[in-house]
Amino acid sequence: MAARPRFGANYVPSSQWFYSWLDFSADAARRDLDDLASIGLDHVRVFPIWPWIQPNRGHIRRAPIDDLLTLIDIAGERGLSVAVDLLQGHMSSHDFLPAWVLTHHHRSVFTDPAVREGIARYMDVVARAVSERDNVFAITLGNEVNNLWPYFDTTSAASREWASELLDVVAAAAPNVKHLYSVFDASWYHPQHPFDPADSVDLGDLTTVHSWVFNGVSDIDGPLGPATVSHADYLVELAAATSTDPNRGVWLQEIGVPQPFVPAADAAEFVDRTMSYVDSNPALWAVTWWCSHDLDRGLLDFPDHEYDLGLFTVDHEAKPAARALEKYIASRRPGAPARRVALECPIDPHSHPERRADIAPGSAFHAEWVRRRADGPIAIASPTCGIDESYLAARGITEVTRGEY
Amino acid sequence: MAARPRFGANYVPSSQWFYSWLDFSADAARRDLDDLASIGLDHVRVFPIWPWIQPNRGHIRRAPIDDLLTLIDIAGERGLSVAVDLLQGHMSSHDFLPAWVLTHHHRSVFTDPAVREGIARYMDVVARAVSERDNVFAITLGNEVNNLWPYFDTTSAASREWASELLDVVAAAAPNVKHLYSVFDASWYHPQHPFDPADSVDLGDLTTVHSWVFNGVSDIDGPLGPATVSHADYLVELAAATSTDPNRGVWLQEIGVPQPFVPAADAAEFVDRTMSYVDSNPALWAVTWWCSHDLDRGLLDFPDHEYDLGLFTVDHEAKPAARALEKYIASRRPGAPARRVALECPIDPHSHPERRADIAPGSAFHAEWVRRRADGPIAIASPTCGIDESYLAARGITEVTRGEY
């Protein structure tokens, strides 16, 4: 097992994006991961593509799993530990899905028993293979699997059961690594979204959050306003406050600087302010930047903001965000764990997902938290946990206050 | 250009079905095509898989096109000519579709301008590549593309425009081969189906028909009744009668012996009777059996009848249908073109697609045609063409009669 990761990148191949799995080049991967190691990163999150490994429910191909292992070894040679996401599934607006769940075979990946059995088999095989490598530290079920709804039916109960069952499969196949669940932030903010905050904080070994400024805060005060640059910290804190375990870590698994929401000229400043905010959070377990490399404009049909998210260009030039992140990592001085005042959350997201709008960007509570955050670290305490002294102490919270909301 | 093909097979790889494209083995292909050449076949129809060649609208991979060329060369070494279908698309209940037309990117392959532009580019590149091989005799737009509706919207007008435009693309890219359009028989029988019979007979260099007994006739008198074993001849004749060109050939591009509709014990007899009927049809241009090899039961989610359609088992044993076909090919004695009486069709499918139910299996017209066919070859003449003496003469029709329908 590698040392605890701190700062890494989501690995997006510089040449042919994830289509490169179909023509895997170890040399191209070496060059890409050289870039990441060069700026002081310690880990990468990598994404095999499900239907290319399991094109039929009964057929799991060995060649792409071997390519994945080669990539993991290449990372290891550069001192990078690796997190593997299994069910892609969703990547940058594109859903990669095998024919056996499409059109004439349309069955929900979340609720159909045969499909779930097939996915369990896929996860078992891939998890077993990658966990044999010493530098693999985590396996996530899949990238933002909640993006596969509504194309595939689910309910809150079914989603939780799905994740729970599959985490058990992965834990049995790969007992030596962390097992994680991952969704995008609709799970935190949209009242009717059938993936509950409780799942993120109860299931798996860590909570993962993905902070994207275009999902709300950018409209408030982007590109460099306090709501925008504190959003990663807000999500990490919200996740920490929702867990019943005061010691549960939160992995900021995705954070990026998307244009035009944050213009290129503001990228370095966005990195610096965002990192300064979130890195002070005692719950923060690791940060993984989205993403390693830009997307070639010759590849079509992506949302415009996806093309320029790389720390590096497709020609391996470090962009200002990469330099800012490199500098931040090299110069950070983590202090003692913060002793903080907490703002009482108007709801407990764990038990009242139907009231998620009350904590979404733009809510009175969010506005108050952002206002106070500008003065220094501020925790969040749920109405349920906020009355438990030992819980508060474990989170370093010295006082719970309430604002106007 | 190879000699005019007569009897061939749709090539379904014996190992890993079309998923084998992802791990292409020239040795496996050699072994499979040895089987087909051994029973006297002269051609194969082959099926690249669209999303594995064009995973992004802007990215067409070279490696799978090279594999396709290798397969074509392997066929050539065995004296087999090759027809290539481009847009798969639909294969045996599974639709292979790239992420750029799915879920968040759901756009109709038939009507969306950007998608059509992407498909045109794909067809241009693949058609250009394969037509450089001397043993390629035809390129079909795709296998039964009408199966991609209703998942993708279309109208009769849009479908025709789609096929017409793409046939122009293929003709420009590959002027030395035949360019063909291919749909399944709903186009002939279902009144509201948005793919008209006129398209099949007007577009491309030949008309293609696919005869599957489970689409109607098997319910009438399967497995070996006259409606069942004459269905291929009926479709060929209907296609000939619908064309305004009396000399247009009709390629029976798919005909197979699906269990349980035709039990294994009746397979050889089905082959013999079906071939005897259809081979007397003067419009018949070629017959291509579906399919070369069985499907391994380890591959899941196929309709049950798809597993045993092979002329050969997955272990390369010739099945009774293969022996019957081999014997038929070796012993056939094509006579002089038939002089035939025609039964007047109650509708002209070319101009009245809304009345297709009147000619579907089970219709009074179909029943009368089957009754007369048992006494010998019987043509079909549409009400429009049946009054044109030179047209009738060109089709070898000596008399037009009418029955009780």
Q: All domains of chain A, ordered by start, with CATH? A: 7-205+291-331 (3.20.20.80), 340-401 (no CATH)
Q: Is the pLDDT of residue A223 over 70?
A: yes
Omega cis (within 30) before B225: no
Cα distance between residue B75 and residue B9, in whole Å: 12
- Of B38, B121, B40, nearest in space to B86 by CA: B121
Q: Is the pLDDT of residue A3 over 60?
A: no
Contact (Cβ atoms closer than 8 angstroms) between residue B259 and residue B305: yes
pTM of the predicted structure, to 2 decimals: 0.97
B59: nearest CB among A16, A56, A105 = A16
Residues A356-365, mean pLDDT to the nearest whole number: 98
| Residues of chain B contacting A17 with CB distance shorter than 8 Å | 56
- Looking at the complex, does the CB of residue B150 fall below 8 Å from at least one CB of chain A? no
- Express each pLDDT in B266-317 by its tens digit: 999 999 999 999 999 999 999 999 999 999 999 999 999 999 999 999 999 9
Residues A294-304, mean pLDDT to the nearest whole number: 98
Selected residue with higher pLDDT from B404 and A242 = A242
Cα distance between residue B243 and residue B289, in whole Å: 24
Q: Is the pLDDT of residue B149 over 90?
A: yes
Q: Is the pLDDT of residue B5 over 70?
A: no
Question: What average pLDDT does the structure give for chain B?
Answer: 96
Report residue B54 as tokens.
């064009």
Q: With bands split at pLDDT 50, 70 and 90, how would you rate the model's confidence at A387?
A: confident
Q: With bands split at pLDDT 50, 70 and 90, how would you rate the model's confidence at A5?
A: low
- Of B244, B139, B148, B255, nearest in space to B197 by CA: B244
| Residues of chain A contacting B56 with CB distance shorter than 8 Å | 17, 19, 299-301
Nearest CA in chain B to A96: B99
Q: Is the pLDDT of residue B2 over 50?
A: no
- Beta bridge partners, A10, equal A45
Residue A59 is predicted with a pLDDT of 98
Cβ within 8 Å, pair B104-A96: no
- Provide the 10 A C-beta neighbour count for residue B244: 15
- Express each pLDDT in B103-146 by its tens digit: 999 999 999 999 999 999 999 999 999 999 999 999 999 999 99
- Provide the 10 A C-beta neighbour count for residue B97: 23
Residues A375-383, mean pLDDT to the nearest whole number: 95
Residue B335 is predicted with a pLDDT of 67
| Residues of chain A contacting B147 with CB distance shorter than 8 Å | 104
Residues A307-318, mean pLDDT to the nearest whole number: 98
Residue B387 is predicted with a pLDDT of 75
- Express each pLDDT in A26-46 by its tens digit: 999 999 999 999 999 999 999
Q: With bands split at pLDDT 50, 70 and 90, how would you rate the model's confidence at A172?
A: very high
Cβ within 8 Å, pair A59-B16: yes
Residue B336 is predicted with a pLDDT of 66
Least confident piece of the model among A134-143, A330-339, B36-45, B119-128: A330-339
B104: nearest CB among A55, A59, A93 = A93
Selected residue with higher pLDDT from B242 and A338 = B242
Q: Is the pLDDT of residue B159 over 90?
A: yes
- Of B5, B2, B4, B22, nearest in space to B13 by CA: B22
- Looking at the complex, does the CB of residue B117 fall below 8 Å from at least one CB of chain A? no
Q: Is the pLDDT of residue B321 over 70?
A: yes
- Of A35, A380, A5, A66, nearest in space to A208 by CA: A5
For chain A, what is the largest distance between any 2 Cα atoms, rounded to a whole number of angstroms?
Answer: 58
Which of B57, B116, B300 has the highest number of chain A CBs within 10 A, making it the mutation to test binding with A?
B300
- Looking at the complex, does the CB of residue B381 fall below 8 Å from at least one CB of chain A? no
- Of B3, B206, B174, B159, nearest in space to B86 by CA: B174
Q: Give the percent of chain B with pLDDT over 70.
A: 97
Helix, strand or coil, per DSSP, at residue B31? helix
- Looking at the complex, does the CB of residue B95 fall below 8 Å from at least one CB of chain A? yes
Residue B3 is predicted with a pLDDT of 46
